[in-house]
Amino acid sequence: MLRSAALVVALSLGGAGAPAASAAEPAAPARTVAEAMQRFADAKPRIETELGAEEAAAFGRRLFDDLERQAEPAPEGYAAADWSETVANVLKLDMEAVDQLAAGTPAPLRLAPGLHELLVPSRVDRTWQLVALYVPPAVHATRVPLAIVLHGNPQTESELLAQPSLRRLADRTGTIVAVPYGRGLYDYAEPAATDVYDLLALLQSQLPIDRGRTYLAGYSMGGFSVFKIGPRGGSRWAGVLCISGAILNSGVRAVTIAWRTTPLYVVTGAHDESIPTKYGEQTAGFLAGLGLPVSFYEEPRGSHTLRTLWPSLERAWDDMHAALTRPETVPIARSGFALPAGAPTAAVLHP
């Protein structure tokens, strides 16, 4: 198991004081993680207060994942350059979180291009909530689109936004993307849902966000969650994007009341091994049958991973930003099918 090897490396680095380099010395990223582990351990009592005990423990496990990832090869179908970029970005975001946690001071929210990790105080219990933020390089000073994206399970905010996929979409439209961790709670259950709306209010108050182009999106578990927590926002969402997810039968009433005129976009892969493709088809067909504005995109070669959903995901993203719906793409709701009662328990793949 890689985790045991990672622990050995971390412990050896923690006791190493000699600066001399050698052929056997761990690479710089591994040393960076090991040093972060030590800083995290030194400040753990305070961090448990800042994050909450459960979230502090989860973040500690995240650091072990970061250490292991440095030695992992690119997954099948993942371009080597994209994998290297993803690994480096996850490390960057998680190290920014450690810096803030160890210092006991959240970084200020700024309109600075690039990837950033934020710690946002929750009004529910005053704990700090982890948020990954991406500001595209061509962002304008006024009226910037915003997309809040809900991650999958098990997946962290840094793992989702570190991948090139969402950032390439953001660069196309000059959209700021924020991914809340949501306390790691399944389906963004309370108080995570309230934290999401507090994040929305914070970003709209402190950044030049175009409230008429503010979107909610979700991937995998997050694709189910948009239909659970999104309706309470009503028309605050200019569009809603479900990626590799679906609506549950229990969520239909709230969605049909809140989003009678809100454009909905459903994206799935024809070979999704985690969330059956028919769930997305049925979601689009059922909601369109109720009169909601829906567009459906099925990527013929797509699986469950984001990187396989091009160009369908790109078209959905562009259509959402153009407030364009394509009713001709929606499968006809066949009699006899039923929406799922619950999301499948299969885990999404890490980046």
- For the entire predicted model, the pTM comes to 0.90
Structure tokens at 243: 């990626």
pLDDT at 347 over 60: no
Distances (CA, A) of 313 to 140, 164, 179: 24, 13, 18
**Could you give phi then psi for residue 172, rounded to 5 degrees?**
-65, -35
Confidence grade of residue 23 (pLDDT, cut at 50, 70, 90): very low
pLDDT at residue number 152: 96
pLDDT at residue number 337: 54
Nearest to 239 by CA among 203, 221, 265: 265
pLDDT at residue number 1: 38
In tens, the pLDDT along 74-92 reads 998 899 999 999 999 999 9
| Rounded Cα gap, residues 117 and 180, in angstroms | 10
pLDDT at residue number 27: 65
Place of tokens 């045991």: 4
Distances (CA, A) of 200 to 120, 216, 237: 11, 10, 10
β 128-135/176-180 pair status: antiparallel
Instruction: Please state the separation of Cα 195 from the chain's center in Å.
Output: 14
Nearest to 203 by CA among 217, 189, 214: 214
Place of tokens 């059956």: 276
Confidence grade of residue 323 (pLDDT, cut at 50, 70, 90): very high
pLDDT at residue number 333: 58
In tens, the pLDDT along 135-178 reads 999 887 689 999 999 999 999 999 999 999 999 999 999 999 99
Domains of the chain: 1-13+26-105 (no CATH), 109-342 (3.40.50.1820)
User: Mean pLDDT over residues 296-314, rounded?
Assistant: 97
In tens, the pLDDT along 199-220 reads 999 999 999 999 999 999 999 9
pLDDT at 16 over 60: no
pLDDT at residue number 138: 81
In tens, the pLDDT along 253-290 reads 999 999 999 999 999 999 999 999 999 999 999 999 99
Query: What sign does the CA torsion over 45, 49, 52, 55 have?
Result: negative
In tens, the pLDDT along 325-343 reads 999 999 875 544 566 666 6
Q: Which helix (H) or strand (E) holds 178?
A: strand 176-180
- For residue 224, what are the contacts with CB-CB under 8 A and spacing of at least 6? 187, 218, 242, 245, 246, 247, 248, 343
Q: Which helix (H) or strand (E) holds 211?
A: strand 209-219
pLDDT at residue number 13: 45
β 239-243/264-269 pair status: parallel
